[in-house]
Amino acid sequence: MQTTPPIANEQQLWKILEDAYEVPIDDTNHQTWMYPLSINSDGAREAFESDLENTFLHHSKGGRNKTHTENLSRHWRVVLLNLASAVFQKRWLLVPTDNNYYSKGNFWPERLGMKKDATKHIVKWLRDTGHVEWKQGKVFKTQPMKTRIFPKPHLQSLIWHYFFHIEQKIEPPYVILSNASQQWEALRDYKRHPEREPLEQINEFLKSHHWACKGPVQMKLTRTGFEGGRLYTPFQNLPDRRARIRINTLINGQPIGEVDFSANHLRLCLATFAKEDAGDTPYEDIGELAKITGTEKEVRDKVKNFLMVAMGSSDERGASHETRRYGIKAKEFEAINAACRKRYPNLRLFDGFGVFAQNLEGQILKQVMLEGIKRDIVCLPVHDAVAVQQEHLKWAEETMLECWDRQMETTGLARVKIDLP
């Protein structure tokens, strides 16, 4: 029987998840598309097929003939595995029900083998039987809003254990393009893209290793196909704030830690334009100058969120409006803006630098992962950090700083911090 190393203490993670149960916020940061998932061990696959046949399919197939029942069963596999993954990611599962999504030539439904009628039947059954929270999609002129579902506690209790045997097949394309009006899609001339070779090397190495939410590492680019450039993998979708799921998973059966770049976009900006060191406490320094009130964490979060928005925006007025989502009032926005300019005169705000920072970040983490391959060390990208087995934390810390300096042609301007379970 095929076996794989454990990816987590299953009961421990389920307890963390159960204790922190809540319906996810309904926004794009808490939504996930369906992906082609599979179960990676024979025993778990047999148990899953038995559950599917005797529970979900048995009660939903109605009077379908053998061919239509097999088709419905195939759709149930996709939906159930993605719902189990959504449970631990604490994200709504997007299940499009509009005709255009299932039209010929659409990349994802063709890859999943999904058709509209069977998908709609499953979603309706889950809704009518009270198994899921459900939000109806809406038709808009430009981009329809997709129907969203999230398992209620009863369904979670039936499917949560599938998660520990789920993985997404690691296969190209590894370079993904996005336009403002479209979801992420495969870059059409991927074979000629300069990032193809290093990303194929990284993914080929990762295929034989095991971790939670296993899937490909992709570089996501915007507009021209050469902007943006952060690394993405399903592992980073696991929550780690209100419910500390991700940090309590394993790589190849061993506990992990995460090594984080500190105030990375700010440091990248200062290094790019001035070769300037931001110091050890940039957020705190700005907060003190701005005279922002609140707890240390509240002040730090406001400064961090201000910088995230201001460095990603090309318009000060728009950035001011956006920061209200993070509880930053107009006067606080003005105070933090003035404090940033006083503390760091060379800092570039409201000129869209965030897009270039993402590219730099992606290049640095890509180099870290390539260095890891040389030592047979699995590094998983997590935004501006990497997750590694705890025995490799020191190596990761040193390598991240070295790769940052190499990319930015500097010495000693980056900082990292280590997070443990």
Rounded-to-integer distance, Cα 185 and Cα 384, Å: 23
Q: In this structure, are residues 80 and 52 in contact, taking their beta carbons and an 8 Å threshold?
A: yes
Q: How many angstroms separate the Cα of 369 from the Cα of each of 187, 188, 190?
A: 22, 25, 21
Q: Is 81 exposed, middle or buried (0-12, 13-18, 19+ CB in 10 A)?
A: buried
pTM above the 0.75 mark?
yes
* pLDDT score for 51: 94
Angle between helices 66-89 and 116-128 (to 10 degrees): 60
> pLDDT below 70 — which residues of the chain?
1-3, 138-145, 178-191, 223-228
pLDDT of residue 180: 38
pLDDT at 93: 96
Q: Tokens 């993998």, residue?
A: 233
What structural domains does the chain harbor? Answer: 10-168 (no CATH), 175-263+354-419 (3.30.70), 279-343 (no CATH)
**Confidence at residue 181, expressed as pLDDT on a 0 to 100 scale:** 38
End-to-end CA distance of the chain: 32
pLDDT at res. 178: 67
